[in-house]
Amino acid sequence: MPASAAQGEPLYLVNHGLHTGLVLPAAGLERRLPGLAEHFPGASFYEVGWGDRVFYQTEEAGSGLALRALLWPTASVVHLVSLSSPPQHYFPELERVELRVSSAGLERLLDRVAASFARGSENRPGFTGPGLYGSGGFFDSRERYHLFHTCNTWVARRLADAGLPMRPVLAITAGGLMRQARAAAMAGCCAKAGYDGTYFPAAG
């Protein structure tokens, strides 16, 4: 990675197939979400995902659940995975894109991610169950899932909140989102930060 890439705030996007994960610095999210640090002690980063409450939390979910989630607005959840180091150590075989944004852009993104969480007692996010892998968990979300607001368009909107040139309408699928992220990274879309982008293709 060139020396200039050290400038700006790093974000990572990980392609899990149907879903994508947005990796963010833990401290910023913990400042906004009371109790998160107690739930995930020792986190340096959080991988954040979002999706339909039933489909996302169901192993081997079939086409019927997927169709139900798309056809009318449904309840949603946020998926968090605690990482003690950058995502390349956890997902070396998966496609990843690293992007850098301004400090103000990162703060906007963190505000919007935190705003998605439904809050309960003492303003804490509502835990609904263990996550899909690693040190992860699901939390209730305030938002509704539907055809035009999917797991990947949600991530695209959060990247746009950070100032990246994303078009959610072209990010319905993980592939569409990753293509935009790759283009942004390769084009050095954060030129003001002196960053020229880093892309890691899937292994194999």
Domain coverage including residue 179: 3-200
Relative to beta strand 74-83, strand 20-25 is: unpaired
User: Integer distance in angstroms from the first to the last C-alpha of the chain?
Assistant: 22
Gyration radius from the chain CA atoms: 16
Q: What is the mean pLDDT of residues 27-31?
A: 98
Q: If pLDDT is split at 50, 70 and 90, which confidence band does 192 have?
A: very low
Q: How many CB atoms lie within 10 A of CB 167?
A: 12
User: Above 80 in pLDDT, residue 84?
Assistant: yes
Q: What is the domain count for the chain?
A: 1
What pLDDT, on a 0 to 100 scale, did the predictor assign at position 16? 95
* Average pLDDT in the chain: 86
What pLDDT, on a 0 to 100 scale, did the predictor assign at position 189? 55
What pLDDT, on a 0 to 100 scale, did the predictor assign at position 177? 98
Q: pLDDT per residue over 136-153, tens digit each?
A: 999 999 999 988 899 999
Taking the C-alpha atoms of residue 165 and residue 180, their distance in angstroms, rounded to an integer, is 8
Q: Quote the distance between the C-alpha of residue 4 and its chain's center.
A: 25
What pLDDT, on a 0 to 100 scale, did the predictor assign at position 67? 54
Which DSSP symbol is given to 17?
S
Q: What is the mean pLDDT of residues 187-203?
A: 50
